[in-house]
Chain A
Amino acid sequence: MTGEEAQTNGHRIGVYVCHCGTNIAGVVDVEHVSEWAKDALGDRGVVVGKDYKFMCSDLGQELIQKDIEREGLDRVVVAACSPHLHEKTFRNATERGGLNPYLCEMASIREQVSWVHTNKAIATEKAKAMISGAVERVKEHESLEPFRVPIEEATLIVGGGIAGIQSALEIANAGHPVYLVEREPSIGGHMAQFDKTFPTLDCSACILTPRMSEVGVHPNIELLTWSEVEKVEGYVGNFAVTIRKKASYVINEDCTGCGICWQKCPKKVIDDKFEVGLGYRKAIYTPFEQAVPKYPVIDHDNCTYFEKGSCKACEKFCPTEAINFEDEDEVITVNVGNIVLATGYDLFDARRIPQYGYGRLANVFTSLEFERMTNAAGPTDGDIVLRDGVTAPKSVGIVHCVGSRDRNFNNYCSSICCMQSLKFAHLVHERTGAEVFNFYIDIRTPAKEYDEFYQRVLDEGTRFVRGRVAEVTDAARLPGEEGKLIVQVEDTLAGQQRRIPVDMVILSAALEPRTDAYETAKKFGIACSANGWFTEKHPKLDPVATMTEGVFIAGCSTGPKDIPATVSQGSAAAARILSYIEMGELALEPVRATVIAEQCSGCRICNDLCPFNAISYDAETELSEINIALCQGCGTCVAACPAGAITGTGFSNEQVLAQIEGLLMLNVEPQPVAEPA
């Protein structure tokens, strides 16, 4: 097919070329392109060709609306940015003009042309070709109606840290049911481990535990601790979630939380979760005193009865006969309309930097160990002491950026460590009077009252050494180093290599995605960034939504952040969900893939490829089936199907082939065109 053979088929098409300020107009000759569209594509149905500074502005949209009414347009092509950004905008404008919104097509001449080319002549020709393709494609478009799905009122929240707690309370207080799933025996998350919070030095437990108890007694919240999500089926508005409630060997209905069982339990275990290895718990335990719920669990792997077949001390002493050694895992299914993933972070394993000596040198501690140490309810009752449990340090080195901003480990900044390290400096100073050295690359204190806190710590006499620590060693070689930990560093401001002997070293370790983050993402049909954090639908404008409708994310699972930001995201996710619940039903994009049953051979190639878990295999019909509510219309299956048995509404073969033909109608060789002004 050539340009001359192309038919108008009675179409009246409007082509609108956006300058995007200078984003597009700086590289593409937009005036030339819009005139060309009207002149050269006239025989292919184009009746309007216009350019405008910002097509997405109200005035730009009005242009489209008015032309539909006045010129009787039946198709619209907007050559502007990526459809990711403004497809909705221009579809709405088209609809306001009286056309079905799906009769509008975008040509991405910013992301695919002006931002990736420097040669103006070539860029201009390529923009024309893309418009030509869009014009041919839009002729094949059909009017579509969105799907409507009802929204189940209940919400699932995964993760009982402060982000999950916040989301749960917001939704429950609005009167809607919430299931809150937590894999540990208590909610509270990392915040429950901390002593003080920066920069106000509020006691972490004092501000957190009221929220925890509120969750515990809330009539709208069903708390599922010691539980994990196994499977997620369904789609926005109607998810069916399978949850495994792990055997706790305690009958919660009978347990009063009196604590006799763990007092009597003879088995002492190093607590590597809540106390991060710095303290002990029993084999039957709650992680901490203010745990919510108050019911303990038995750690099967460490329980003497399960190991040796006898003991049962807890059962013997339990006043309410609430111990049940026959307990088994229980698997339940709940139906929810929306999901919040607030699964938090893991701390970087500081042993991966052997030159810092963690795990080898007794008095090197991680940030989380130090949090437990300073906590009045922690293993040392809040005393800052060396690993011997008694000696107070006379000098302490605090190392920033351990595993962060380091291409050997994590190339991102963990964002909280500067403030955390300043907080540690203050606490050491206040409680021990020891000399404190903070070793940093840059001090990053960008939030409210943060830099003021830095000033305060400076004023307290903390010694700041600008330099990333090279190594921590106990190998003394100079007078005064014997028996000390020596922090070797270049003081970059003094330009000297220094060896600073201290009694204790604290490593401000990086925040990392949970080790099972990819697995979790796959389970819920969402994506992870290259670093492993959950990916937002839009990093700025939609930071708590994901590309999967109905699945929201909050807190550190999306990237390192402090408590205020985490709480904000918990609330934001709840707000998004409340508006869905309020709507009662949701309109979904009709751009979907469908299986043509006669052509499907049941090979299942498409099943695993679908990034949204939308395709399943029906053993009875021996065909693959697409769940239209889960399908996001990405087209992966359409391209992958060896039998061509999957077609896409909104991206049918006819439409895609017409677009390709349209693209190829132009010979994109550098033509001598006028340089844009």
Chain B
Amino acid sequence: MNTTAEPAAPVREGEAATAEPSFLRWIENNTPGDSRLIMCIQCGTCGGSCPSGPDMDHSPRQVFAMVRAGLKDEALSSNTPWYCVSCYLCTVRCPQEVHITDIMYTLKSKAIEEGMAQVDAAKVWSETFIGYVEEYGRSFELGLATRHNIRHRPMGMTRAASLGVGMLAKGRIDLTPQVIEDVGQLRLILWKAKELEAEQ
């Protein structure tokens, strides 16, 4: 594999992997509990089990290998975490009990932080969703669907619109967002949490 992290000239032992411990450690430290990332034996249970595996750039285990090899750019620019559907099949089947799904979340947030998220639709969907949650305290399906579709049209605008009309007709979507009473309190909490996270 072609990498930017790999040095061009041979280096003495100990120098090659300078990037590795810090990136690996960062991922481990920012995954809740014990991620067990270093326990992966590359058996492929994750990649075999994954419902969106065929559409991923890399199997989860390959991403873990990149993380362990210090190939930060390659790991963060892979579409793999963005195609994770959070079904946890890999996590419960993993013979080494690696917390695969949780590590995927950590990789996504790191990729956004570093401006390397490759799957724009996924990133924007997450961000749009979060935007509504922070604005109203609840998600707002109609707003989400329209705002997201205007930019990304995963299923084409016409189809999305007809689906929306259907939802309205069935009484399954609201035209206005629901707002929680103490949205100010929620914002204070989230603001503080973000501040704490940035301190790291």
Contacts and interface: CB of A to CB of B under 8 A. Distances in A.
B49 interface: yes
A495 B48 contact: no
Given A355-B93, A407-B97, A470-B93, A495 B45 contact: no
B44 A490 contact: yes
Contact of B44 (A407, A408, A471, A491): A491
A497 B42 contact: no
A407 B49 contact: no
Given A468-B45, A489-B48, A497-B54, A407 B62 contact: no
A492 B47 CA distance: 8
B97 A468 contact: no
B164 interface: no
A36 to B, nearest CB: 39
B66 to A, nearest CB: 12
Contacts of A470: 44-45, 47-49, 89, 93
Given A355-B93, A407-B96, A467 B43 contact: yes
Given A468-B48, A468-B95, A441 B43 contact: yes
B24 interface: no
Contacts of A491: 44
A64 interface: no
Interface in A392-408: 401, 405-408
A488 B61 CA distance: 16
Given A492-B47, A497-B50, A441 B93 contact: no
Interface string A353-364: 001000000000
B95 A492 contact: no
A554 interface: no
Find the residue from A441, A469, A470, A492 having the highest chain B CB count within 10 A: A470
A607 B183 CA distance: 66
A467 B44 contact: yes
A466 interface: yes
Interface string B90-106: 00110111000000000
Contacts of B92: 408
B92 to A, nearest CB: 8
B53 A497 contact: yes
Interface string A441-479: 100000000000000000000000011111100000000
A408 B95 contact: yes
Given A408-B95, A468-B43, A468-B44, A492 B49 contact: no
B48 A488 contact: yes
A488 B47 CA distance: 10
Nearest to B89: A470
Interface in B43-94: 43-50, 53-54, 58-59, 61-62, 89, 92-93
B53 A492 contact: no
B95 A406 contact: yes
B41 interface: yes
**Chain B contact surface mostly:** helix
User: Which of B48, B49, B92, B95 has the most chain A CB atoms closer than 10 A to its own CB?
Assistant: B48
A151 to B, nearest CB: 47
B46 A490 contact: yes
Nearest to B90: A470
Contact of B59 (A355, A406, A407, A492): A492
Interface string A483-516: 0000011111001110000000000000000000
Contact of A471 (B41, B43, B46, B49): B49
Pick from B53, B61, B95, B96 the residue with the most CB of A within 10 Å.
Answer: B95
A359 B161 CA distance: 47
Contacts of B44: 466-468, 470, 489-492
A468 B41 CA distance: 11
A405 B40 CA distance: 12
B54 A492 contact: no
Contacts of A469: 48
A490 B42 CA distance: 10
A397 B89 CA distance: 22
Nearest to A468: B43
Contacts of B58: 495
Nearest to A355: B93
A673 B44 CA distance: 53
Contacts of B54: 496-497
A492 B93 contact: no
Contact of B43 (A408, A488, A492, A496): A492
B53 A490 contact: yes
A405 B41 CA distance: 10
A408 B91 CA distance: 11
Contacts of B93: 355, 408, 470
B97 A490 contact: no
A407 B42 contact: no
Contact of A441 (B41, B47, B53, B97): B41
B48 A497 contact: yes
B129 to A, nearest CB: 28
Nearest to B52: A497
B47 A405 contact: no
Contacts of A488: 48-49
Interface in A337-394: 355
A469 B54 CA distance: 16
B48 A408 contact: no
Nearest to A496: B54
Given A405-B95, A407-B95, A470-B93, A492 B50 contact: no
Contacts of A489: 44, 48
Contacts of A406: 95
Contacts of B62: 495
Interface of A: 355, 401, 405-408, 441, 466-471, 488-492, 495-497
Q: Enumerate the 4 nearest inter-chain pairs by beta-carbon distance, A residue then B residue, closest first.
A: A470-B48, A490-B47, A490-B44, A467-B44
18 contacts: A466-B44, A470-B47, A470-B93, A471-B49, A488-B48, A488-B49, A489-B48, A490-B44, A490-B45, A491-B44, A492-B42, A492-B43, A492-B44, A492-B61, A497-B47, A497-B48, A497-B53, A497-B59
Interface of B: 41-50, 53-54, 58-59, 61-62, 89, 92-93, 95-97
Given A468-B48, A490-B44, A497-B47, 19 more contacts: A405-B95, A406-B95, A408-B93, A408-B95, A408-B97, A466-B44, A467-B43, A467-B45, A468-B43, A470-B45, A470-B48, A490-B59, A490-B61, A491-B44, A492-B42, A495-B58, A496-B54, A497-B54, A497-B59
